[in-house]
Structure 1
């Protein structure tokens, strides 16, 4: 069983010694002409190189995606920390402040001092996860730069009234409840 096919054919008498030597010589010449495997290996090498480049490109894209995701998470955590560290403690007050969150009308209860600051624009209402927090207007301005969807209420006082406004001389009182 250890005999090669050539030896077996030679013993069976199907080929002669000269044919076996000729076949071995041709095989040796072929190997010498293509020392590293020949044309078939060249195509395989090119395919392997192409696969390596494609894998490298996929790895770069995946790394870039992971870095973007990490940067996004870091920015979200930074915003969350900014809100948490600068929030104004909302004491359960008796004055309801109404605002909109998307298409829904929401209501938070604040005390009179906080209500006056909200109306004057010194406090703002921001959304943090599922809760609403009061933060100073300066913090709300910083949040607007990072994520405008989080700032729900930021009253800015009008600096120049319209010249053609027929109601300009009638001021709306700050304590008007609606």
Structure 2
């Protein structure tokens, strides 16, 4: 049973209107004109819009999942390579976003920090001492986790007119 028959049965369309519509459709097909089915076009348009919406939503979800995976990688790198500093008695001061912060380290860890062999990473309000190589890997993913990394290869250029040029400040100065 076609839609036209159903409409006639329901009393929404008369037999005369149905014949008239069929004649118009037949003439259009015979003359080569394309019969436009607005319902099909509207459905196709909505389907395309929904597909685009789904694609954008999936891209958003994938980006969020990638971000979480990256955070998990960073967390694993820091926690698995952290140096134990539980018996440290020497305070080591450093700057974290403009705030002077202190961690207690052993003498060997202090030398490692001063010599650039160790770096300090921050993860959820806790500080971890990690090897510089690991700090480089973390910085490649997100450098906001690395708080301090001393690089012994880059010497600060000295100003020629500096009156204190002959008095170098030692790296292990306790302040």
Length-normalised TM-score, structure 1: 0.75
Q: Secondary structure at the match of 2:111?
A: helix
More RCO (CA 8 Å, sep 6+): 2
1:52-90: per-residue Cα shift (whole Å, max 9, x none)?
111110000001111111111111111111111211111
Change (3 A) 1:129 1:32: farther
Q: Secondary structure at the match of 2:37?
A: helix
Q: 1:127 aligns with which of 122, 127, 146?
A: 122
Q: Secondary structure at the match of 1:98?
A: strand
Alignment size in residue pairs: 156
- 2:107 — aligned with what? 112
Length-normalised TM-score, structure 2: 0.76
Checking the alignment, whether the CA contact within 8 Å between 1:116 and 1:174 is kept in structure 2 is: no
Gaps of 5+ in 2: 1-8, 27-35
Q: 2:170 aligns with which of 160, 170, 173?
A: 173
Q: Offset at 1:101?
A: 2.0
Gaps of 5+ in 1: 7-22, 36-40
1:108-131: per-residue Cα shift (whole Å, max 9, x none)?
111111112111111111011221
- 2:15 — aligned with what? 24
- 1:162 — aligned with what? 158
Give the RMSD, CA atoms, in angstroms: 2.7
